[in-house]
Amino acid sequence: MTDRMDGVRVLIYSHDTFGLGHLRRCRTIAHALVEKYKGLSVLILSGSPIIGSFDFRARVDFVRIPGVIKLYNGEYTSLGLHLDLSQTMAIRASIIRHTAEMFAPDLFIVDKEPLGLRGELQETLSIMKSRGTTLVLGLRDVMDEPTLLRREWKSGNLLPVLEDIYDEIWVYGHDGFWDPLAEMNVTASVREKMIYTGYLRRTVPKVTKLPPAVDLESPYLLVTAGGGGDGDQMMDWVLRAYETRADLMRAVLVLGPFMRPEMQTEVRERASKLDNVEVLTFESHLELMMEKAAGVVAMGGYNTFCEILSLDKPALIMPRVAPRKEQLVRAERAAALGVARMFDPSSPDSTLEAFVEALRDLPKQAKPSSAMLPGFLDGVERVGELAGRHFHPRQDDGLSLVETGG
């Protein structure tokens, strides 16, 4: 059912320092809202350097703020500007504040970081709250291993922000899977603000444009590294398996746009010597490829996990364990529930022989639907319902979406 919400505006913040996860989650939510509510507009604030590579529906636009990237050691640095990090952060905070003031949203959804990257949202949140804007913090199912998350949030004094600033906390997961604030000692009032939406279901887009070199009719395993910035280890394991055994099902490797150029070159050189391995750098409509795959090998990021669940694909998850243990926690829990299988490349007990067998067994593995809990994939519908409670149609004042270069 579609409702009219003329003049209603939603602002979504996505700090996007590493990979594609935050941007793709926010894009999914934005598209769901404009599909459900005619006349509603959504503006995404994003630091992703490739946000312009994605297509957006009518009434969804974005403002690109200067990029900051998280290094593998967890530190941050300016991405494209030859500026000190503090200067870049000041520019970002100014753009965010002025955009929010001009756009005047009815609902402001902040993805993952309560105060934004390095506190860049603090002033904007205060202004929005004083104007009566509904403030929502959106959390993925797993933030990090509880001890590490507790230490990080304590140092940033973030728990009082949940208490004092936010009206609601939406968890894009299922309460039977994981509590993102486990062992955080949050107050009862914060717990009352937490609403589990279910995972954000993904659908296969109607766009049929795919690289012509990829044969989707012959059986294949899809190997995806997400953004690719941390996919070196997984790709090396897959290539070693195929270098060892030539009888494995054909594999299509999607490296991700952030994989280091030298690693991309290495992967392509090794794959060129293998008859049953194909390589793509990036595919913005990964759902199209996943739909046709016999099985999926992935690192266990949130968005890929949602796609695996939505398209009901047998999956082998190979989580990264640094700088966050988020993927490891998600993979362990998914394996315990039976919705996917885990192979931990960092474990001393993990052998190449065991990995080859896991790849061989993958197409015959049970599908996620055999073990999913009720309401597991209700996130898109639930987010639409939750957002709608805060919408009131208003006369459009003529303010158009912020002009962007996208």
Domains of the chain plus CATH, in order, are: 3-201+378-388 (3.40.50.2000), 221-370 (3.40.50.2000)
3-state helix, strand, coil in the chain (%, to 5): 35, 15, 45
Number of helices (H), then strands (E), belonging to the chain: the values are: 13, 17
Cβ-based neighbours of 337, under 8 Å, separated by 6 or more: 177, 371, 373
Q: What is the pLDDT of residue 395?
A: 60
20/40 Cα distance (integer angstroms): 25
For 201, half-sphere exposure in the C-beta direction (CA atoms, 13 angstrom radius) is: 18
The one-letter code for the residue type at 232 is D
Q: What is the pLDDT of residue 402?
A: 43
106/11 Cα distance (integer angstroms): 8
Say if CB 316 and CB 359 are below 8 A apart. yes
Cβ-based neighbours of 347, under 8 Å, separated by 6 or more: none
Q: What is the pLDDT of residue 404?
A: 40
Task: Give the pLDDT of the chain (406 residues) as one tens digit per residue.
Answer: 568 898 999 999 998 655 567 788 999 999 999 999 999 999 999 988 777 778 899 999 999 998 876 655 556 677 766 788 889 899 999 999 999 999 999 999 999 999 999 999 999 999 999 999 999 999 999 999 999 999 999 999 999 999 999 999 999 999 999 999 998 989 999 999 999 999 999 988 776 555 556 788 899 999 999 888 889 999 999 999 999 998 999 999 999 888 999 999 999 999 999 999 999 988 767 888 999 999 999 999 999 999 999 999 999 999 998 888 999 999 999 999 999 999 999 899 999 999 999 999 999 999 999 999 999 999 999 999 999 999 987 665 555 444 343 3
Query: C-alpha 378: how far from its chain's center?
Result: 17
Nearest in space to 112 (alpha carbons), one of 300, 286, 298, 303: 303
Peptide bond into 363 cis (omega under 30): no
User: Residue 84, class by beta-carbon neighbours within 10 Å (0-12 exposed, 13-18 middle, 19+ buried)?
Assistant: exposed
What sign has the CA pseudo-torsion 268, 271, 273, 278? negative
The one-letter code for the residue type at 293 is A
